[in-house]
Chains A and B, each alone.
Chain A
Amino acid sequence: MLKYIGKRLLYMVLTLWVIVTVTFFLMRAAPGSPFSGEKELPPAIQANLEAYYGLDKSLFMQYVDYLISVVKWDFGPSLKYKGQSVNDLISEGFPVSFALGMEAIFLALALGVLLGAVAALRHNKWQDYTAMIIAVLGISVPSFIMASGLQYVLAIKWSVLPVARWESFAHTILPALALASTPMAFIARLTRSSMLEVIGNDYIKTAKSKGLNSTEITVRHTIRNAMMPVVSYMGPLISAILTGSFVIEKIFGIPGLGMHFVTSITNRDYSVIMGVTVFFSVLLLVSILLVDIAYSLIDPRIKLADKKGE
C-alpha cells in the first residue's frame, strides 16, 4: 500500500505540472489584460505595470517564474488588488469556504444516504416516491436558484434566518443547504440504486436467513457495499465544495475562496488564477487519492496496484 501511495504521489506531481502548464498558457492566450479597462492606460504606464509584474519577460521565462512560485508555494502579489498577496487571499478565503463546505458535505452525505437508504428499503412504496420527488427537485434546481429561493422564503418571508453575511452559525444554514441540495439528491439516488442492487445479492439473503435483523443487515452489509458510487462521486465533490462556490458566496455575501475562481479570470489576475488553480488541484488530487484508498477499504477485493494490462 505504501509503495502504491508513493507512486501515486509521483503521478500527482506530474499531473500538477501538466495542470500548471496548460492553465498558464491558456490564461495567457485569453484576450484581455489585467490592466485593460474602459479607459485605456497611457502606454508608458501600461509598460511600467507589465515590467513591474514581470509580464514583459518572454512567455517562457514567465512560465518558469510561475513554476518556481508553485514550488515555493508563494504565488506573489495579486495584479488586481493592490497590496494583497495571493497567499493572503487563499488563507483568508479558504477557512470560510472550508467551514461552509464541511457543513454542506455533512448535510449532503447524511441526508443523502438516509434518503437513499429509506427509498431502497421501501422500494416502490410511498417513501420511495417521496424520496424520489425530493431528489428530482434537488437535481433539477441548481444551487443558485435554490439559494435565492431559500433566501426569499426563509429569510424574507418568514424571517427565521438571516439574509446574508458570514457571522454566526445561523448565517451558515441557508448557504449550506443551498450548496448541499444537488449533491444530497444525487447521493440519495446513487445510494438507493446501489442498495437495491446489493439487497438482491445472495449474501444479504443469507444474512437474512441467518436471522440477522434488518437494521443490522442494512448497516453491516447493504450500505457499506452500496457506498462505492457515492465514494466515486465524493472525491471531486469534496474538493469543489471545500474551495467554495462562486454563486453561493455571491448570493449570501460570504467572503470565501470561491469568488476568486471566477473574478480572477474575469479580471485576468494571472497570479490569482494560478494560485487558486494550483490550490484546487492539490486538494482535488489528494481527495481522489483518498477515494481510491477508500475503495480498497470498502471492498478489500479491489486491488488498485494490479499489474494487468501493463
Chain B
Amino acid sequence: MQQQKIPKELFEQVGGNTTDSEKISRPSISFWKDVWMRFKKNKLAMTGVVLLVILAIMSLVGPHLTPYNYYENDLMSANQPPSGEHWFGTDELGRDVFTRIWNGAQISLFIGIAAALIDLAIGVIWGGLSGYIGGRTDEYMMRFADILWAIPYLLMVILLMVVFEPGLGTMIAAMTITGWINMARIVRGQVLQLKSQEYVMAAQTLGANTSRIMAKHLIPNTMGPILITMTLTVPNAIFTEAFLSYLGLGVPQPLASWGTMASDGVAALQYYPWRLFFPALFISLTIFAFNVIGDGLRDALDPRLRK
C-alpha cells in the first residue's frame, strides 16, 4: 500500500493548549450548572423539592397551628376521628394527631436525612474502595461488612443502650452500624463492573490516581443505584427509630415521631385507622419526594442525556 506523505509544514496550530486537552474532564462548574438546568426542567422532580420544603416548613410551623401540644393528655377525648376540632383526630391518650405529626416530622425528617447522608458517605467510600482496589483488600472490607451484618442487631442495640445514654447520638450510631452495608455492597458491585470498562482503563493509563478515578468516573456512573439505595435508607431510618424507641433507645416518650406513631397505629388499624393513616401518609409523601428527586437527579446527571 502506498503512503502519502504530508509535509509537516502543512499543519498549523489552531489554538488551544495541549496541557488542557490532556485532561479528560469537563469543567466542573458548568457541569453542575448543567445538571441544575436539566433538573429544574423536570417538573416531577421539582414537585418533590417543593414537597420536601413544605414538609420541613410545616414541621416548624405545624405544631403552633393548633391550641394543643404534643404531650398533654386528654383521656376524655381519646381516639376521636378527624374533625374540625382535631383535624387528624386524636390518639389513645387524647393527644392531637395533627400536632404530633408535625412535631414528629422534626425528628423523623432529621433522622431520615441524617441517616441517609451518613450511610451514603460511608457506603460509597467503603464499597467504592473495596470494589476498585479489589483483591485481598476487597476481601477484608467486604467480610467486615458481612460480620456486622451477621451479628444479631438486637444484641448490638441492647448493648449500645447499656453502654451509652439514650439520645440522638446513640440512636444515629445504632442506625448507622449496619445502615451503610447495603449501599457499600451495591456500590462495590457497580464499581467491579465499571472498572473494567474502557474509559476507566484509559484514565488509569493516563495516570489518574484512585481518588480522581473514583470521583470523576466511577461514582458518577453509579449514581443511579446510589440514589435509589438512598431513598430506601430514609424509610429504613424512620422505622428503625421506631424500633429503637420501642427498645428504649429512641426518642423518649411522649415525644412523637412518624415511625412510632405508625407502629402504634398499626394495632389500631381496624378501629381507629387515622392513627395509622396520617403518619403513613406523610412517610409515603416524604419517600415519594425523595424518589422523584432521586430520579430527577439521575436523569440530570446522566451524561448521555446531555445536549
Binding site for B on A (CB under 8 A): 8, 11, 14-15, 18-19, 22-23, 26-27, 29-31, 129, 132-133, 135-137, 139-142, 144-145, 148-149, 152, 156, 182, 186, 189-190, 193-194, 196-197, 200-201, 228-229, 231-233, 235-236, 261-262, 265-266, 273, 277, 280-281, 284-285, 288, 291, 295, 299, 301-310
Contacts and interface: CB of A to CB of B under 8 A. Distances in A.
B136 A310 contact: yes
Given A144-B266, A295-B193, A310-B136, A229 B186 contact: yes
Contacts of B150: 19, 23, 277, 280-281, 284-285
Q: Which 9 A-B pairs have the closest CB atoms?
A: A232-B189, A193-B224, A140-B287, A309-B133, A200-B304, A301-B196, A229-B225, A281-B150, A140-B284
Interface centre among A14, A22, A197 (most CB of B within 10 A): A197
Given A140-B287, A236-B182, A152 B152 contact: no
B231 A309 contact: no
Contacts of B269: 148-149, 152
Say whether chain B's binding surface is mostly helix, strand, loop, or mixed.
Answer: helix
Interface residues of B, number: 63
B244 to A, nearest CB: 14
Contact of A228 (B133, B134, B152, B189): B189
Contacts of A231: 189
A156 B156 CA distance: 38
A308 to B, nearest CB: 5
Interface in B81-139: 133-139
A299 B286 contact: no
B143 A193 contact: no
B202 to A, nearest CB: 15
B155 interface: yes
A245 to B, nearest CB: 13
A223 to B, nearest CB: 15
A306 to B, nearest CB: 5
7 contacts: A26-B152, A26-B159, A139-B291, A140-B280, A141-B283, A196-B299, A306-B134
A15 B147 contact: yes
B249 interface: no
Contacts of A145: 262, 266, 276, 280
A22 B147 contact: yes
B270 A152 contact: yes
A145 B224 CA distance: 28
Contact of A140 (B192, B224, B286): B286
Given A273-B152, A302-B196, 12 more contacts: A19-B150, A136-B288, A139-B232, A141-B280, A144-B263, A149-B269, A197-B224, A229-B228, A233-B182, A262-B154, A273-B155, A277-B151
B298 A295 contact: no
Nearest to B204: A308
A200 B232 contact: no
B158 A265 contact: yes
Given A19-B151, A145-B280, A200-B305, A139 B159 contact: no
A232 B287 contact: no
A136 B291 contact: yes
Given A229-B190, A236-B149, A301-B196, A156 B225 contact: no
B235 to A, nearest CB: 5
Nearest to B284: A140
A98 to B, nearest CB: 18
A30 B224 contact: no
A19 B151 CA distance: 6
Contacts of B284: 136-137, 140-141
Given A189-B228, A261-B152, A11 B143 contact: yes
A288 B139 CA distance: 12
B261 to A, nearest CB: 12
Contact of A139 (B135, B227, B231): B231
Contacts of A285: 146, 150
Nearest to A305: B135
B135 A307 contact: yes
Contacts of B185: 232-233, 235-236
Given A265-B152, A273-B152, A190 B228 contact: yes
Contacts of A262: 154
Nearest to A200: B304
